[in-house]
Amino acid sequence: QLACPLDLGCHSVRALGTNAAAHYLRGELARFLRESPYQVNLLMAGHDEEDGPSLYFIDYMASMHKMKMAAHGYGSYFSLSILDRQWRKGMPLDEGLKLMDMCLEEVQRRLLLNTPKFIVKMVTKDGITVVRGPGSSTEEKAAMPVDQ
Amino acid sequence: MGDSIMSYNGSAIVVMVGKNCVGIASDRRFGVRQQTVATDFQKIYKMHDKLFVGLSGLATDAQTMYEKLKLRLNLYKLREERDIKPSSFSHLIASMLYERRFGPYFVEPLIAGLEGPENKPYICGTDLIGAPVFTNAFWSPELAQNLVRHVRDFVASGFGARGFVEVMAQCLLSAVDRDCLSGWGAVVNIITPD
């Protein structure tokens, strides 16, 4: 059991659920939207015992939506199309990673800026693992040369 | 492309009065300008058994507005020990919006409910600063007005609940077919006395 990571003066010893964290974050972004807005788009992914894995898409304007697959930025124009076509419910892990690789490959191919290295992390009931990039067990799988 | 902040996320909501029932329908698209991000976004919220509110406009403000309304309604329920009347609710929304007259929430809410013991159908729409419109037939927010102009041909006051679903669905679908910023499915909610 983790202590409440947000020091709100509460004595909670329950881990903050993904749903709660996402709503909290949305509330903060919404509050600051009309004061001094945070210019960050984010995706919040977490695993809970009751709800299983969940993914929340939060805009810089604090629009939030729980989604099965999501992307931000120019890369999203390509990633979302690939995900729409390939993603299915209950995909096994290796297929999911292949799908992730496909998206990263497309982003590297299609966008002007060279982005050779990505970090991919995975959240499961056992915690967070680095799957691609520094600290992962498959070090050099991250970059696919663009001209191949 | 949204040069208007109200069409940034894109949405189309319609409220209509039928025979002994009211309906509120919305599309399901959540977009960022021209890109569609999700196709299962919720824009209509049930406030209580006889009251629905649809929030069109900027998604973030719609979500914030819903959270504020939920809070106000929960407090109302605790104090008054009854559910709020749709007409009171529409006045509540209007005043909440006007509080922000010079820095408004970019939402245009639509209210649909059944009022009183006779379950009289009630619909109302307001603009983003709380100017209410009470009609007997149908309403939709400003940007969708052009789209649902043909709804006048469909005015459903004679329809009972079952036919009504079809009418509302067709109205909304033909409206969103003409608007690239709304669509991707529709949800139709009908409130009847039971």
Answer with the residue of higher pLDDT: B32 or B193.
B32
Whether residue B60 and residue A77 make contact (CB cut-off 8 A), yes or no, is no
Q: What is the mean pLDDT of chain A?
A: 85
* B-proximal residues of A, 8-47, CB under 8 Å: 26-27, 29-30, 33-34
Question: Which pLDDT does position B157 carry in this prediction?
Answer: 56
Whether residue B38 and residue A26 make contact (CB cut-off 8 A), yes or no, is no
Left (φ > 0), alpha (ψ -120 to 50) or beta: where does B112 sit?
beta
How many beta-carbon pairs below 8 A join chains A and B?
40
Compare all CA atoms of chain A with the CA of B67 and give the residue at the minimum distance.
A27
Of A110-119, B24-33, B69-78, B156-165, the range with the lowest mean pLDDT is B156-165
CA B29 to CA B11: how far, in whole Å?
A: 7
Question: Which pLDDT does position B163 carry in this prediction?
Answer: 75
Return all residues near A30 (Cβ < 8 A) that are at least 6 apart: A62, B60, B63, B64
Question: Which pLDDT does position A3 carry in this prediction?
Answer: 47
The string of pLDDT tens digits covering residues B107-154 is 999 999 999 899 999 999 998 888 888 887 777 776 566 656 666 556
| A125–B contact, CB cutoff 8 A | no
Of B44-58, B72-86, B138-152, the range with the lowest mean pLDDT is B138-152
Question: Which pLDDT does position B19 carry in this prediction?
Answer: 81
CA B142 to CA B124: how far, in whole Å?
A: 13
Q: Cβ contacts (< 8 Å) between B35 and chain A: which residues?
A: 76-77, 80
Whether residue B41 and residue A65 make contact (CB cut-off 8 A), yes or no, is yes
pLDDT band at B180 (very low <50, low <70, confident <90, very high): confident
| Residue B24 three-state SS | strand
Q: Once rounded to an integer, what is the mean pLDDT over residues A51-64? A: 94
Q: Once rounded to an integer, what is the mean pLDDT over residues A13-29? A: 90
CA B183 to CA B169: how far, in whole Å?
A: 12
Interface of B with A (CB under 8 A): 9, 30, 32, 35, 37-38, 41, 58-60, 63-64, 67, 103
Q: Cβ contacts (< 8 Å) between A33 and chain B: which residues?
A: 60
CA B142 to CA B168: how far, in whole Å?
A: 18
Q: Once rounded to an integer, what is the mean pLDDT over residues B156-184? A: 74
Whether residue B38 and residue A76 make contact (CB cut-off 8 A), yes or no, is no
Q: Cβ contacts (< 8 Å) between B38 and chain A: which residues?
A: 57, 65, 67, 70
pLDDT band at B166 (very low <50, low <70, confident <90, very high): confident
Residue A142 has pLDDT above 50, yes or no: no
Q: Once rounded to an integer, what is the mean pLDDT over residues B23-41? A: 91
Pair of tokens at residue A75: 């890369």
Question: Which pLDDT does position B55 carry in this prediction?
Answer: 94
